[in-house]
Amino acid sequence: MLEAGRSYEQEFEESLAKLFGLIRNIDPLHLLSVLSVYGLFAGMTETGKIQQKKESRTAVQQAHVELVQAVVLTIPNEDLSNAPAIPEKIQEIWNLLIALGRAFHLKRLVQLQYAKTEEQKAVLQLQEHLRLNTQFVRNWGYFERVIAITRRLYAPLDPLYRESTGLGATQLIHLFEHLVNRSEAAINERWQRLRPVASARTMEEAVEAYCAATPDQQESPEDLIRYFREQGVAREMILSILLSHYDLQLPDVFTFRVSEIAAETGLDPKALRKILPRICYRFGELGETDYERFFLGNPVWLKPLIQLSEDIYYCATPQVFFSFVFQILEELLADNADGQRECTRRRAEFLEDEVTTLLRHAFPDSEHTPNFRWRDNGVEYESDLVLKVDSYLLLVEAKSGSLTWPALRGAPDRVKRHVEELLVEPARQSKRLADKLERARAGMVGDVGILQQLPFDVANVQKIIRLSVTLEDFATIQANVANLKRTGWLDGDFAVSPTLTLADLEIVLDILGSAPVMIHYLLRRAELEEHMAYKGDELDLLGLYLDTAFNLGEAEFLGRDWMLVEMSHKIDEYYTALDQGFVRKKPVLRSTQWWTDIRRRIEERRPNRWSEIAVMLMNVSHDDQQNAQKAFKRIVKNVRKNWRRTGHMNSIILEPSNWRKEAFGLLAFRNRQKHERHKFMGNVAAQVFARSHAQRCLIVGINIDKEHYPYSVLGLYDRPREIAADETTAK
């Protein structure tokens, strides 16, 4: 691997020099435009399904186009070429960009020689994860939701930004949203114009359709037809040639005048002329930059525009603004210390308010208290949100700290500091409160006082759920904090708390949509993180949950590394279509219809301990649901036939596996037996406790003579407490 790293070091240097040489001989705006359109734009069917692009290993990504933009900005204006990017050169640069990105990452394999211990290897692995994420990953949320979140966050700060930059923060957000939509509309219009050309059956039809679509060109259809015949161009090459010719106009799609964009957006042209020079570069301006910086600290991330003249700008990737919106808006206040402090205060206030609003909406019948102050061993603490849902208590911590560039580039000291501030300390805080509440509920004299401080009774709470929420994505490592244990940065007794970004929490709650399902997700999410190694982000976990409800069986405990990347495909496709105005069926939890209907009825009726009952129901895998339903049909037939016989078979039981402590049963009874239904259920539970290690048992009873779909009666039984010898006589 060390030898491979050295080889990639050489490949990187050679590829970078070759890239610079190729780019210097091509019109930079034409090159950027072609790469952007053919690399970053994806088609969508009329049903809102994303058309498949090239495999990620061979596809140009936003990071590649950003790299090219940085490279062209090293070239002085007088040295720029006006030669168009012909297809052969485009393909050569395309392949070179893929190889260069891979080489930049893999050349760091040489660092393995410095990792001697397991902890050092884990830290190195974490550093590489951060660097790779910083190099390539851009989206921290779905487009429309990113815009909505940032607008809500920065709206109260508009006066501050207007005073400092001439334009309010939300106005700047509106500007780049418009640039994104503007370029998409222009590209769509181009494809529509070329449709008749693509569908033409003959060369003559294709040429005539092309000339009709481009009335401003000088050549007549007859001239072009004659030229193609003289050159002996094959029919299948005609479309490619015409498309390449049409692409000469591509830079116009991404070029705009200030007066033009002001009219389209309603923004003040004077304000635009004040702020745009602060978020742009001119050709030659990056000539003295360390070129390796283009990969992990590209200057165009903070200044995505290219200024062509005093009033004309170019932007092939306006979406860069939203990838780095927090950093761009922070940089605009770099010289305003008071403004920066106000932004920090606003971030904290915003995140706490957003989390409270989301969870209150998700659990409308819950009781809650924000900013709960409490004391432990003479020290006062504050928990951001305590929320009670039936017999579950949620302890939520919100951390709005921003990530620094050194951390995103893998600087170990900065990474460790951010891990402590954003991921570890919030988990410790919620664990501290959870422990105190448990001691208080157990009657510990020094802790019971906290029960009177809460505005609601927690006597019936069966389980405490801890949750942390961050504003920014920390290269997805927040999705599996437990992985950090290998670095040695976490205490041995550190209790992991699931950590989600605000954007991901919003998606999780929207997709799951049901209070017990959301509770089940958070419960199982914490358990998985404690003992299952996986690679993937929160939405990959959500995709896995929709397929399995996290009922993974013994495989969950075997110590395997689960590769969950791209499990979010259905979710990604749904929200991408939604952003484009397509309403598709929302992805749902995989479950049999009967099981789904039982859960929904439980949530609707809300019997005592309804949330626990629903959670137990979801701990039955889809396969077990199907098998139970098939077996229960046989039970129903038997009860109809033999219900008068003593000891007839009237139930099926799903006993818990080694890693579960809950059993589940289905009971069938006739209407003439309904007065005995509780006795039957108690007998089933007694059998469960006698022959298994189950601590609880849920029985769903169905009166097979009545239309009580999806169930008639529920029974939730706890294992009887063992009776001590000195209690026997009294009992």
pLDDT bin (cut points 50, 70, 90) of residue 49 is low
Nearest Cα to 354, choosing from 402, 321, 400?
400
d(CA 501, CA 183): 29
Q: What is the mean pLDDT of residues 98-126?
A: 87
d(CA 333, CA 348): 18
Cβ-count burial 370-398 (b if 16+ within 10 Å, e if not): bebebeeeeeeeebbbbbbbbbbbbbbbb
Upper half-sphere CA count for residue 715 (Cβ side, 13 Å):
22
Q: How much is the pLDDT for 52?
A: 58
Upper half-sphere CA count for residue 103 (Cβ side, 13 Å):
18
Q: What is the mean pLDDT of residues 539-559?
A: 93
Q: Using alpha carbons only, give the angle 566, 119, 138 rounded to the nearest 5 degrees.
A: 30
Residue identified by tokens 């061979």 is 58
Q: How much is the pLDDT for 386?
A: 97
Q: What is the mean pLDDT of residues 158-163?
A: 97
What tens digit of pLDDT does each residue of 594-619 get?
999 999 999 999 998 999 999 999 99
Q: Using alpha carbons only, give the angle 464, 468, 472 rounded to the nearest 5 degrees.
A: 165
What tens digit of pLDDT does each residue of 670-686 get?
999 999 999 999 999 99
- Amino acid letter, 613: I
Query: In this predicted structure, which of 115-119, 249-253, 320-324 has the lowest mean pLDDT?
Result: 115-119
pLDDT bin (cut points 50, 70, 90) of residue 46 is low
Q: How much is the pLDDT for 318?
A: 97
pLDDT of 368 above 80: yes
Locate all alpha helices (DSSP H) within 73-117, ordered by sequence: 87-106
Query: In this predicted structure, which of 45-59, 665-679, 693-707 has the lowest mean pLDDT?
Result: 45-59
469 or 445, which is more confident: 469
pLDDT of 55 above 70: no
Residue 679, burial from CB neighbour count under 10 angstroms (0-12, 13-18, 19+): exposed
d(CA 663, CA 431): 29
Tally DSSP H helices, then E strands, for the chain: 30, 15
Q: How much is the pLDDT for 658?
A: 85
d(CA 354, CA 183): 32
- Taking the chain, what is the end-to-end CA distance rounded to the nearest angstrom? 71
Q: Are 624 and 590 in contact (CB under 8 A)?
A: no
What tens digit of pLDDT does each residue of 221-265 get?
888 888 888 888 887 788 888 888 899 999 999 999 999 999 999
d(CA 523, CA 295): 39
Instruction: Look up the pTM and report it.
Output: 0.93
Q: Reduced to 3 states, what is the DSSP secondary structure of residue 374?
A: strand
Q: How much is the pLDDT for 29?
A: 97
- Return the sign of the alpha-carbon dihedral for residues 42, 45, 47, 50: negative
What tens digit of pLDDT does each residue of 390-414 get?
999 999 999 999 999 999 999 999 9
Ramachandran bin of 502, using left for φ above 0, alpha for ψ from -120 to 50, beta for the remaining angles = alpha
pLDDT bin (cut points 50, 70, 90) of residue 454 is very high
Upper half-sphere CA count for residue 345 (Cβ side, 13 Å):
8
Cis check: omega of the bond before 221, within 30 degrees of 0: no
Q: How much is the pLDDT for 44?
A: 63
56 or 706, which is more confident: 706
Q: What is the mean pLDDT of residues 641-656?
A: 94
Work out the number of other CB atoms within 10 angstroms of the CB of residue 354. Answer: 20
Average pLDDT value for the chain: 92
What tens digit of pLDDT does each residue of 521-531 get?
999 999 998 88
pLDDT bin (cut points 50, 70, 90) of residue 532 is confident
Q: How much is the pLDDT for 445?
A: 84
Starting at the earlier edge strand, list the strands of the sheet with 367-376. 367-376, 379-389, 392-399, 463-470, 499-501
d(CA 210, CA 242): 7
pLDDT of 219 above 90: no
pLDDT bin (cut points 50, 70, 90) of residue 726 is very low
pLDDT bin (cut points 50, 70, 90) of residue 657 is confident
Q: How much is the pLDDT for 53?
A: 55
Q: Are 477 and 541 in contact (CB under 8 A)?
A: no
d(CA 238, CA 256): 31
Q: How much is the pLDDT for 116?
A: 83
Q: What is the mean pLDDT of residues 195-206?
A: 88
pLDDT of 724 above 80: no
Q: How much is the pLDDT for 522?
A: 96
Q: Reduced to 3 states, what is the DSSP secondary structure of residue 314?
A: strand
pLDDT bin (cut points 50, 70, 90) of residue 427 is very high
Nearest Cα to 81, choosing from 10, 22, 127, 135?
22
Length reported for the chain: 731
Q: How much is the pLDDT for 45?
A: 64
DSSP state of 645: S
Q: What is the mean pLDDT of residues 477-485?
A: 88
Please state, for a pLDDT cut of 70, what percent of the chain lies above it: 97
pLDDT bin (cut points 50, 70, 90) of residue 56 is low
d(CA 679, CA 715): 11
pLDDT of 727 above 50: no
pLDDT bin (cut points 50, 70, 90) of residue 729 is very low
d(CA 20, CA 247): 23
What DSSP letter does each residue of 647-708 carry, written as one string?
T---EEEE---TT--EEEEEEEE-GGGGGGHHHHHHHHHHHHHHHS--SEEEEEEEETTS--
Q: Using alpha carbons only, give the angle 692, 694, 697 rounded to the nearest 5 degrees.
A: 115
pLDDT of 730 above 60: no
pLDDT of 422 above 90: yes
Residue 189, burial from CB neighbour count under 10 angstroms (0-12, 13-18, 19+): exposed
What tens digit of pLDDT does each residue of 270-284 get?
999 999 999 999 999
